[in-house]
């Protein structure tokens, strides 16, 4: 897995133009069953890919934290939301709360998340490949494929399966 992760930025760069064209067509003419296709591709990929052998999202980017996330996680630590913010978060250029540093402080050496049950919504949903109307997040996906092996594989499968 680590070998694939190391090669991913270059692989994604090589495929970038092709994928960009594909997503531009997908936006204009998304197949009617796109949600169904994505669900299937997502499930197939995550049967093969075990996030515990990767954790590259937790190591290199980290999520944004919504107010609800902050309340829930602070409660878990028996902290006030502001204490949690002061200890772990900062505000980024988009005015969102994000981690002060990566790898994520809640990631263990065994790649387990120590706050898994209460983790941010963004962590639960990443890499968003099973969301409805997937064509609407193509710009985000074009970034994610350079970091997430599963997202990369799913996009490559999409290009094989959906022909325009
Ligand atoms: S979601 Fe993607 S980047 Fe994160 S651990 Fe799973 S395969 Fe790796
Ligand atoms: S909170 Fe957990 S799932 Fe989210 S980035 Fe940190 S370690 Fe990963």
**What average pLDDT does the segment 71-97 reach?**
97
The closest of 78, 76, 119 to 99, measured between CA atoms, is: 119
CA of 158 to the centre of ligand 2 (A): 27
Q: What is the pLDDT of residue 164?
A: 86
Residues 9/143, Cβ–Cβ less than 8 Å: no
141 has pLDDT over 90: yes
Distance CA 40, CA 21 (A): 23
Q: Is 155 in the pocket of ligand 1 (CB under 6 A)?
A: no
CA–CA dist 48, 36 (Å, integer):
19
**Does 159 score more than 90 pLDDT?**
yes
Residue 107, both tokens: 């990631």
Tens of pLDDT, residues 8-37: 999 999 999 999 999 999 999 999 999 999
Predicted pLDDT at 108: 97
How far apart, in whole angstroms, are the C-alpha atoms of residue 41 and residue 134? 12
Measured CA to CA, the distance from residue 121 to residue 26 in angstroms comes to: 26
In the sheet with 64-65, reading across from the earlier edge strand, the strands are 64-65, 97-99, 89-91
Q: Which ligand is nearest to the CA of 104?
A: 2
Average pLDDT over residues 37-48: 98
Q: pLDDT category, 63, cuts 50, 70, 90?
A: very high
Using only C-alpha atoms, the chain has a radius of gyration, in whole angstroms, of 17
- Is residue 113 pLDDT above 90, yes or no? yes
pLDDT tier at 78, thresholds 50, 70, 90 = very high
For residue 12, the SS3 value is helix
Give ligand 2 pocket residues (Cβ under 6 A): 58, 62-63, 104, 106-107, 113, 115, 119-120, 123
Q: What is the pLDDT of residue 119?
A: 98
DSSP 33-77: THHHHHHHHHHHHHHH--GGGT-HHHHHT--EE-HHHHHHHHHHT
Q: Find all residues with CB under 8 Å of 19, minimum gap 6, and list them.
A: 142, 145, 155, 159
Q: What percent of the chain has pLDDT over 70?
A: 100
Task: For the chain, give every domain's residue range.
Answer: 31-55+126-164, 64-117
Average pLDDT over residues 107-133: 97
How high does pLDDT run on average in the chain?
A: 97
């Amino acid at each position: 897995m680590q070998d694939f992760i190391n090669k991913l930025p270059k692989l994604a760069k090589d495929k970038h133009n092709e994928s960009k064209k594909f997503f531009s067509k997908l936006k204009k003419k998304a197949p009617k069953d796109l949600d169904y296709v994505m669900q299937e591709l997502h499930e197939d990929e995550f049967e093969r890919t075990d996030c515990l052998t990767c954790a590259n999202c937790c190591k290199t980017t980290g999520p944004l934290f919504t107010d609800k996330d902050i309340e829930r996680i602070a409660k878990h630590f028996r902290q006030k939301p502001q204490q949690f913010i002061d200890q772990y978060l900062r505000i980024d250029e988009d005015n969102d709360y994000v981690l002060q540093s990566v790898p994520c402080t809640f990631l263990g050496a065994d790649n387990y998340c120590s706050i898994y049950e209460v983790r941010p919504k963004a962590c639960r949903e990443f890499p968003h490949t099973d969301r409805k109307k997937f064509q609407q997040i193509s710009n985000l996906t074009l970034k994610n494929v350079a970091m997430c092996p599963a997202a990369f594989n799913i996009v490559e499968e999409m290009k094989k399966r959906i022909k325009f």
